Each structure stands twice: as C-alpha cells, then as structure tokens.
C-alpha cells in the first residue's frame, strides 16, 4: 500500500516514509492510495483489542515487517493502559459511550500517541536513517502531553510542543510543564491554537530552514493528526466498538449504527470515515462542534470561513478554526480531485475561506453545542444516570440530542468519549451546580466523589511534580525557538 499527497498523486511513498515525514513536501497530507476492506465482521467479534489492531494496522502499514507491527501494538496497548482492554463501551441513557480516555494522559490522543513512537522508531531503523528526528507539535491541549509522554526518552527523537498560552486548561498545562524526559521541550506561545498550528506548518514548508536543520543532523516530523501514523490506529476503536455491540447482542450482524464525534482538527471523525469506507456498517457520521462552529457552518452552507474570532470554550481541545484533516475528507469525497483540493487550500490560506459546491449532506451531519447546552447535558446525565461526562464528550452528547430531535433517526449510536472528566474539573463542577473551589486539586476530589472513582495517579502527582518547562515565545519566533532548543538552549531543565 502506497501513500500519496492530497495535492499531488504522482509522489508516492511507503507508509514508513509517510510516518517519518509527517506531511508531504507540497503541503498536502498523505492518504492511502486505496482503502482496504474489512473481513466478515461476525468472524472478528471475539478478537481482543490488540488482535484487532494487528489486523487493521497491518493492512494499512504493510511495508512494516509484521513483527514490528506486533511489537508496536504490544508496547502501546499493554502496561500503559493498566493491562486492561484499552477502550470501554458503556451504555448510558440509551447511547453507547466509547471511552477512549483510559491511557497515560487521560485523553483519546493516547490511543494513537502510545503506538506512534514505536512505529516511528521502527521506520527509522528499517530505513537506516542517521539523523535525529524532531517531532514538532502544535497542541490544543491534549496532543502535547500525549506526544511528550509517548516520545519521552525514545532514542533518536526530540519532541517540541507549542501550546497556546491562554488556550489550554489548567490541568493540561500542568501536565505539560512538568513533563520529564531529556528529549522533551514545551513552549507556550503568545497566540491561539491556529497560530501554533500555522507556525508548525510554516516550519515544515520552509525549504531553507529544513536544509539548515539537516546540516545540523535533524529531520522534522509531526505527531499531529496530519501524520497518517496518528490516524490509522484510530480506525481500530470504531471497529472494536461495533464488534462489542455485536458480541453483546445489542445489534445484529451488519446492522447500521450512527457515530458521533466531538471534533476539532477532524482527525478522529476521519478515522470513523475510514472505518465506514472499510465496510463498517455506519450510516451517519455526526460531526459535533463547540462554539467554534466553522465545520457546522461548512456542512450547512458549503462555505468554509475561518475569518472569525477563535473563542475559548470549556472544550479547549476543539477550539480550532482550521481543521487540517478536512483536507483528507474532501480529497476522498471529491473522487481524489487533487487540483480542486490544491485550489481550495490555497484560497483558505490567501483569502481565509473557500467554497465547496458539490456537497452531499448524506455523508455527514454537522451541528454544534454552546456552553449552556454543554452544562445542561453534563448536569442531566449526572442527575439521571450518575455518569460524569467531560465537556468535549458533552458537546457530542448535546449534538446527538439535537440530531435525534431533528431527524428522529434512533439507530444504535456510538459517541466517542474523548477525555476523562478529571482533566476538566471546573466546567464539570459548575455544570453540576456546585461551587468551583479555588484549589484545582480540591476540584479533583469533587470529581472523584461524583464519579465514585479514585483519583488517577497521573492527576494526583501533578500537585507535587516540579515545573520543568517555562519557556514562552511570540508566534513569529517559533523557528528560532526550535533551533535554540535543539542546541540545548533551554535552561530550565
């Protein structure tokens, strides 16, 4: 299986090369040249998560020796998830929450960022690459920590994470600035997530700069969902969720379901789309946004317009105006029209918007939920079921309620539950009508009481871990910051 850029199909690379590069040289994103088909689902329903992952990831990354795929999966989905099945499906209020947050950093990003370092390292070894890799990442809060944790102390790899200074939750910030590992670097930028993501994309696209890095012995790669190595491992859990419903007798073989995904950079929902293209019986993909509803407007009107203020919400990992993976989705639904994609992406950069005339609403349903709706969903779910949702999951649940009301389509539904409520205590506490304590860790105790769960050690330890990363920079200074960090210019650890 080869991979090519959404903007130029001539330039084909293997999956190892695509994973090492992260993004294509022409600025496009790597996509598989064909989407493989799943075997008969009935025959898969007794597979463990790891077995299913070996099958699906092996289909896409077929230039890896199968031993490397197996070792990557065993390394990723064992101890790091407490040696349990890494995802859980729980039914509440008639819908099925696919809990994807039981990994080391308590957000769904762990599902891919625990395995990506293994895949990256195997690719570097197989390809005999001598330079050190620099993983450059812009984060809206969760990718940063998951990448730092996944890549810490991996030989031959450095990680640099840029996060928006005022755009992440307190818990997310603490998780990042206390990160250990000699090869980890964390920088707060004076800007929002889109500024950080644009800065990173500019660095990738700067030929001179990349030459200079190469002379110093470095090559760049990405741990954002623009890296195909992030995306494919996410396909697995949608199939796993479906098989779980089948196994428990909640659906019949080949019965269609709907899938709801709280969306930011469009990576997670794109993985669901790939699962559907592989033959998983998914009817509607429901794209849930928060107040930054660029995608909702796009699916409604066909106009993608980033020319608006980015709002800071209680679901910071979705505070995004430029959803990178939409490019891949449009590439596929346009019948792989590379020149149309190139035009639109250029328009988006130059004019801040583009129009997609030929759009079928059957492909995807987009809606958004505002802060009040998110709060009332959290409150109602807790009141009714004693189940605590984090704000991102609550966006998805609120949107699903609207979808049900509008369409009456009550097929069995899976909601991607993307973060643990422990990561976002303030909004959860306020939604339940309680007073937000001054001290973050007092808030954590309230969440633990509500969930009738123990506080995860990843959260409780933050109270006493030393701060190791204090660097900040202006959004125009990211290139310089990277060079300085690689020279060992960071004095704080």
Which residues form the catalytic set? Answer: 109
Of 7, 54, 80, 109, which one interacts with ligand PLP (CB under 6 A)? 109
Q: Which of 142, 319, 367, 490 binds ligand PLP (CB under 6 A)?
A: 142
Q: How far is the CB of 21 from ligand PLP (least distance, A)?
A: 20
Instruction: Return the number of the residue (184 or 317) whose C-beta is nearest ligand PLP.
Output: 317
Nearer to ligand PLP, 86 or 490 (CB): 86
Map residues 407-446 to x or -, x wherever contact with ligand PLP holds by CB under 6 A: -----------xx---------------------------
Q: Which stretch binds ligand PLP (CB under 6 A): 53-61, 239-247, 258-266, 474-482?
A: 258-266
Minimal distance in Å, beta carbon 486 to ligand PLP?
A: 26
Q: Which is nearer to ligand PLP, 142 or 373 (CB)?
A: 142
Q: Binding ligand PLP by CB under 6 A: which of 20, 73, 107, 381?
A: 107
Shortest spacing between CB 128 and ligand PLP, in angstroms? 32
Beta carbons within 8 Å of 346's beta carbon, 6+ residues apart: none
Kindly state the greatest CA–CA separation across the chain. Answer: 61
| Paired strand residues for 92 | 95
What's the closest the beta carbon of residue 366 comes to ligand PLP, in angstroms?
Answer: 12
Burial class (CB in 10 A: 0-12, 13-18, 19+), 64: buried
Q: Are 157 and 120 in contact (CB under 8 A)?
A: yes
Q: Which of 267, 366, 443, 456 binds ligand PLP (CB under 6 A)?
A: 267
15-54 binders of ligand PLP (CB under 6 A): none
3-state secondary structure of 93: coil
Contact between 268 and ligand PLP by CB under 6 A: the answer reads yes
Least separation in angstroms between residue 132's CB and ligand PLP is 27
Query: Closest Cα to residue 407, out of 371, 442, 367, 447?
Result: 367
The stretch among 30-38, 104-112, 291-299, 458-466 that binds ligand PLP (CB under 6 A) is 104-112
Residues in Cβ contact with 389 at an 8 Å cutoff, skipping those fewer than 6 apart: 97, 377, 378, 381, 382, 397, 417, 421, 428
Shortest Å, Cβ 254 to ligand PLP? 27
The distance of closest approach from Cβ of residue 261 to ligand PLP in the complex, given in angstroms and rounded to an integer, is 7
Nearer to ligand PLP, 258 or 317 (CB): 317
What string of DSSP letters covers 173-231? HHHHHT---TTEEEEEEES-HHHHHHHHHHHHH-HHHHHHHHHTTEEEEE-STTSHHHH
Give 135's contacts (C-beta < 8 A, 6+ positions apart): 120, 147, 151, 157, 158, 159, 160, 221, 222, 223
Q: How many residues line the site for ligand PLP (CB under 6 A)?
A: 17
Interacting stretch for ligand PLP, rule CB under 6 A, among 56-64, 261-269, 341-349, 436-444? 261-269
Strand partners, 415: 97, 260
- Residue closer to ligand PLP (CB basis): 64 or 240: 240
Which range touches ligand PLP (CB under 6 A), out of 7-15, 47-55, 127-135, 262-270? 262-270
CA distance 344 to 23: 18
- Window 372 to 411, contacts with ligand PLP (CB under 6 A): 392
- Please identify which residue in 225, 258, 292, 338 interacts with ligand PLP, judged by CB under 6 A: 225
Residue nearer to ligand PLP on the CB measure, 111 or 485: 111
From 25-33, 122-130, 256-264, 438-446, give the range in contact with ligand PLP by CB under 6 A. Answer: 256-264
What is the per-residue burial (b if ≥16 Cβ within 10 Å, else e) of 300-319? eeeebbbeeebebbbbbbbb
Tokens representing residue 278 in the block: 């592989």
Residue 488: which residues within 8 A CB-CB, separation 6 or more?
Answer: none
CA dist 127 and 5 (Å) reads 20
Query: What is the CB neighbour count within 10 angstroms for residue 445?
Result: 14
Query: Can residue 266 be called a binding residue for ligand PLP (CB under 6 A)?
Result: yes
Element holding 476 (H helix, E strand): none
Q: What does DSSP assign to residue 36?
A: P
> Which of 20, 100 has the CB closer to ligand PLP?
100
Smaller CB distance to ligand PLP: residue 295 or 481?
295
- Residue 134 DSSP class: E
Smaller CB distance to ligand PLP: residue 101 or 382?
101
Strand-strand pairing, 364-368 and 303-305? unpaired
Beta-strand relationship, 3-5 and 8-13: antiparallel
Only one of the segments 39-47, 155-163, 257-265, 276-284 lies at the binding site for ligand PLP (rule: CB under 6 A); that segment is: 257-265
Spell out the residues 6+ positions from residue 461 whose beta carbon is closer than 8 angstroms to its own: none
Which one of 27, 233, 264, 421 is in contact with ligand PLP (CB under 6 A)? 264
> Binding residues for ligand PLP, per CB under 6 A?
107-109, 142, 225, 262-268, 317-318, 392, 418-419
């Amino acid at each position: 299986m080869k991979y090519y850029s959404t903007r130029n199909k001539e330039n084909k690379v293997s999956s190892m090369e695509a994973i090492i590069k992260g993004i294509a040289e022409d600025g496009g994103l790597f996509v598989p040249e064909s989407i493989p088909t799943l075997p008969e689902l009935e025959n898969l329903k007794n597979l463990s998560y790891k077995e299913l992952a070996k099958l699906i990831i092996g289909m896409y990354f077929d230039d890896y020796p199968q031993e490397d795929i197996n070792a990557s999966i065993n390394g990723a989905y064992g101890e790091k998830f407490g040696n349990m099945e890494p995802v859980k499906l729980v039914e509440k209020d008639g819908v099925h929450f696919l809990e994807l947050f039981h990994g080391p950093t308590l957000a769904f990003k762990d599902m891919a960022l625990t395995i990506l370092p293994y895949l990256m390292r195997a690719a570097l070894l197989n390809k005999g690459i001598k330079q050190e890799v620099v993983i450059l990442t812009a984060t809206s809060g969760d990718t940063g920590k998951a990448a730092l944790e996944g890549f810490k102390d991996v030989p031959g790899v450095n990680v640099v994470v840029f996060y928006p200074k005022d755009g992440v939750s307190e818990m997310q910030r603490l998780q990042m600035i206390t990160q250990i590992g000699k090869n980890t670097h964390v920088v707060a930028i004076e800007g929002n997530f889109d500024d950080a993501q644009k800065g990173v994309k500019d660095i990738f696209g700067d030929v001179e700069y990349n030459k200079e890095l190469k002379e110093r012995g470095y090559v760049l790669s990405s741990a954002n969902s623009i890296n195909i190595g992030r995306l494919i491992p996410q396909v697995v859990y949608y199939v796993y969720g479906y098989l779980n419903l089948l196994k428990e007798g909640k659906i019949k073989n080949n019965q269609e379901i709907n899938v709801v995904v709280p969306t930011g950079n469009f990576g997670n929902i794109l993985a669901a789309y790939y699962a559907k293209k592989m033959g998983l019986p998914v009817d509607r993909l429901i794209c849930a946004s928060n107040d930054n509803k660029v995608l909702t407007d796009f699916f409604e009107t066909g106009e993608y317009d980033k020319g608006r203020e980015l709002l800071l919400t209680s679901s910071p990992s979705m505070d995004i105006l430029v959803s990178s993976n939409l490019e891949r989705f449009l590439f596929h639904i346009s019948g792989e029209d590379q020149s149309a994609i190139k035009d639109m992406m250029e328009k988006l950069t130059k004019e801040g918007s583009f129009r997609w005339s030929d759009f079928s609403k059957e492909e995807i349903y987009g809606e958004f939920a505002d802060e009040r709706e998110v709060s009332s969903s959290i409150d109602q779910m807790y009141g009714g079921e004693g189940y605590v949702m984090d704000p991102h999951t609550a966006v998805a649940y609120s949107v699903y309620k609207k979808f049900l009301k509008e369409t009456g389509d009550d097929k069995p539904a899976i909601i991607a539950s993307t973060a643990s409520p422990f990561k976002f205590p303030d909004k959860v506490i306020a939604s339940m009508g309680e007073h937000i304590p001054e001290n973050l860790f007092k808030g954590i105790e309230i969440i633990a009481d509500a969930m009738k769960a123990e506080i995860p050690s990843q959260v409780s330890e933050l109270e006493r871990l030393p701060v190791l990363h204090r660097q900040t920079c202006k959004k125009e200074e990211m290139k310089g910051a990277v060079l300085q960090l690689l020279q060992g210019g960071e004095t704080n650890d």
